[in-house]
Structure 1
Amino acid sequence: MEQVKLKTDLSCPHCAMKVEPILKETKGIVDYSIDLAHPDKLVSFSSEGADIDALITNIKKAGYIAEKL
């Protein structure tokens, strides 16, 4: 299982709520956390073969920036 961290521009709990369905719907994501207190607004998750590029694209479609660290 791969541990993945994404740097984002999420700024508030409402932003996190808009991204959570994307995380829940992405096949291969086992669990996730969103740390808005971290300077990089981290989205961390365990991946079992999740398509990270597609996930980043879907987050961008929702209006946010995401890049793999």
Structure 2
Amino acid sequence: MNELKFKTNIDCGGCVNAVTNYLNDVKGILKWSVDTSIPEKILTVESDTATDEEIINAVKKAGFNIEKI
């Protein structure tokens, strides 16, 4: 299992709800969360097969900025 971290602009509960379906559709993601309490809004993804690119594409499709850290 891999833990992947990304800096995003997902900054509230509504934003988390907006991105949920997109991330849940990515095969290989076991668990994910966004720490909205810090300025970097870190998305942490636990994955067994999902790639950085798949996660980045899903978040961008939901309308948010994302970059690998």
The DSSP-based 3-state class of the residue aligned with 1:32 is strand
- Residue 14 of structure 1 aligns to a residue in which SS? helix
Deviation at 1:9, TM superposition (A): 0.7
Structure 1: runs of 5+ lacking an equivalent: none
| Count of matched residue positions in the alignment of Structure 1 and Structure 2 | 69
Identity across matched positions, percent: 35
Secondary structure of the residue aligned to 1:56 is: helix
TM-score normalized with structure 1 length: 0.88
Stretches of structure 2 that go unaligned for 5 or more consecutive residues are none
State TM-score, norm by structure 2: 0.88
Q: Which runs of 4+ in 1 moved over 6 A?
A: none
Quote the RMSD (CA, aligned, Å): 1.1
Give the 5 Å matches for 1:1-69. Answer: 1-69=1-69
Q: Secondary structure at the match of 2:6?
A: strand
